[in-house]
Homo-oligomer: A and B are copies of this chain.
Amino acid sequence: MHLGVFVLGTGNHIAGWRYPGAADSFQSLPVIQEIARTAERGKFDLLFLGDSLVAGVNDHPSFTVRFEPLTMLAALAATTTHVGLGATSSTTYGEPFLVARAFASLDHLSGGRAAWNAVTSSGAKAAANFGREHPRHDARYEVAEEFVDVVRGLWDCWDDGAILADRETGQYIDGSKVRSLDHEGRFFKVKGPLNIGRTPQGQPIILQAGSSDVGLALAARTADVVFSVVQDLEEAKLAYRALKDRLPGYGRKDSDIAVLPGVMPVIGATDAEAREKLNTLQSFVTGGNAHSMLANRLGIDVSGFPPDDLVPDLPLPDTSHGFARAMLAKAKRENMTWRDLLNLTGAARGHWVICGTPVAIADTLEEWFRAEAADGFNILPPYFPGGFDDFVDQVVPILQERGLFRRDYTGTTLREHLGLERPANRLFPPAASG
């Protein structure tokens, strides 16, 4: 089983920062350093950051004022030793050369622990910060397909062993082990080579979270880890299988991708205590924030719907999040009112919430893992540090005892934690044996 932690300084719950003792800033180095220490104490594979390119002043506090992900993870690279460091960076509002370079740099700084979550930036508002029109969903994915290829091509411009640094002869570089990319595609023209050598992992890990048809296609072709947003076991099994079944089409196999559903654990010594904790968190939610969050997720204004009305069938616009569908399906299935849906969104932005004792939570995670609904989980602590401490100190030991999760790291790179081989360099194929 693989475990990631989704980091937001004020907690994943929209009002988590109001919980007694919780951190209340996503602009504080000590806050994120403590989270990283806890992740390594828990032997986590990965520490992960979402991102957006816009400040939604009424949105989740950590979506409004936050560290820039690459600089934040680079700071953590210097004070951690094992945990993978995954950041989101946009293929719609970025340049392949800069993205390839930044993640290569992070991979060197961290000794092989960098991961790039390639996203197409679903939020249309970001466009206004770049003087552009926001491209439509499928158009964004066409760009993303080429963008990811260019980035991976740039990562391969340097072969292993290209840097000789031979003091005797003065030769620094073996010119036969570096080449340009000379990419000329539909959207990008990038010469290369990159100005940083091949990285400890060969290539940084690629994360993906898209759930649309084109999102799944991109993930199946290029991703090493996929975050899924699912609300129940049957749905999760279908999503898991749907992705894995695409892999042979790209010459890949099941074990090449780890599928990690996002889950917010709310932990108590008893079921009642856990339920009470969730109720406390929900009581902290103020209307404006939850409305803003739900409107962003669905891509429609929701303020006009009476809170006690059942959620109806709704046509979703092109700008809705991929997992808006999952939330609406759950709302229909469980006969939710708008108030229920607002609560669900405020809690975990549409991610799955499990509430219970450490044993009950470990049971559920084991059930999902054994049912081939998940290769592990992306844990969304409702607040930090306490909500994450609870999981690491109370649930992880149970998973370890059951032989489901590592007791210690056996490697030092993220690729090793994930059990993935260092990839061959596509631009420097091994010479034919003679």
Task: Please give me the residue from chain B that is nearest to A128 by CB atom.
Answer: B191
Q: Mark A53-77, 1 if CB is under 8 A from B, else 0.
A: 1110100010111111011111111
Chain B residues closer than 8 Å to A18, beta-carbon distance: 167, 170
CB within 8 A of A170: which of B65, B101, B284? B284
Residues B108 and A27 in contact, CB atoms below 8 Å apart? yes
Question: What is the CB-to-nearest-CB distance from A386 to chain B, in angstroms, rounded to a whole number?
Answer: 14
Residues B109 and A67 in contact, CB atoms below 8 Å apart? yes
List CB contacts (< 8 Å) of A124-174 with chain B.
Answer: 128-131, 158, 163, 165, 167, 170-173
Residues B129 and A191 in contact, CB atoms below 8 Å apart? yes
Q: How large is the interface on A (under 10, 10 to 19, 20 to 34, 35 or more residues)?
A: 35 or more
CB within 8 A of A131: which of B53, B170, B190, B284? B190
Please tell me if A197 contacts chain B, counting CB pairs below 8 Å. Answer: yes
Q: How many copies does the complex hold?
A: 2
Chain B residues closer than 8 Å to A172, beta-carbon distance: 10, 17, 61, 64, 289
Please tell me if A105 contacts chain B, counting CB pairs below 8 Å. Answer: yes
List CB contacts (< 8 Å) of A192-217 with chain B.
Answer: 192-197
Question: What is the CB-to-nearest-CB distance from A108 to chain B, in angstroms, rounded to a whole number?
Answer: 5
Question: What is the CB-to-nearest-CB distance from A92 to chain B, in angstroms, rounded to a whole number?
Answer: 12
CB within 8 A of A64: which of B57, B65, B76, B173? B173
Residues B25 and A109 in contact, CB atoms below 8 Å apart? no
Chain B residues closer than 8 Å to A192, beta-carbon distance: 55, 129
List CB contacts (< 8 Å) of A29-66 with chain B.
Answer: 29, 33, 52-55, 57, 61, 63-66
CA distance A68 to B98 in the complex (A): 9
Knowing A18-B170, A131-B189, A167-B18, say if A29 contacts B77 (CB, 8 Å): yes
Please tell me if A255 contacts chain B, counting CB pairs below 8 Å. Answer: no
List CB contacts (< 8 Å) of A72-104 with chain B.
Answer: 72-79, 93-95, 97-98, 101-102, 104
Please tell me if A364 contacts chain B, counting CB pairs below 8 Å. Answer: no
CA distance A271 to B218 in the complex (A): 64
Please tell me if A328 contacts chain B, counting CB pairs below 8 Å. Answer: no
Chain B residues closer than 8 Å to A196, beta-carbon distance: 27, 55, 65-68
Residues A175 and B57 in contact, CB atoms below 8 Å apart? yes
Residues A170 and B102 in contact, CB atoms below 8 Å apart? no
Chain B residues closer than 8 Å to A28, beta-carbon distance: 108
Please tell me if A396 contacts chain B, counting CB pairs below 8 Å. Answer: no
Task: Please give me the residue from chain B that is nearest to A283 by CB atom.
Answer: B170
Given contacts A28-B108, A70-B102, A78-B79, 8 further A-B contacts (CB under 8 A): A18-B170, A67-B105, A71-B71, A72-B109, A75-B78, A78-B78, A128-B189, A171-B286
Q: List 11 A-B contacts (CB under 8 A).
A: A28-B108, A53-B97, A54-B195, A55-B196, A67-B196, A68-B102, A72-B74, A72-B105, A75-B75, A93-B95, A170-B284
Q: Which residues of A contact B (CB under 8 A)?
A: 10, 15, 17-18, 24-25, 27-29, 33, 52-55, 57, 61, 63-68, 70-79, 93-95, 97-98, 101-102, 104-106, 108-109, 111, 128-131, 158, 163, 165, 167, 170-173, 175, 178, 188-197, 284-286, 289
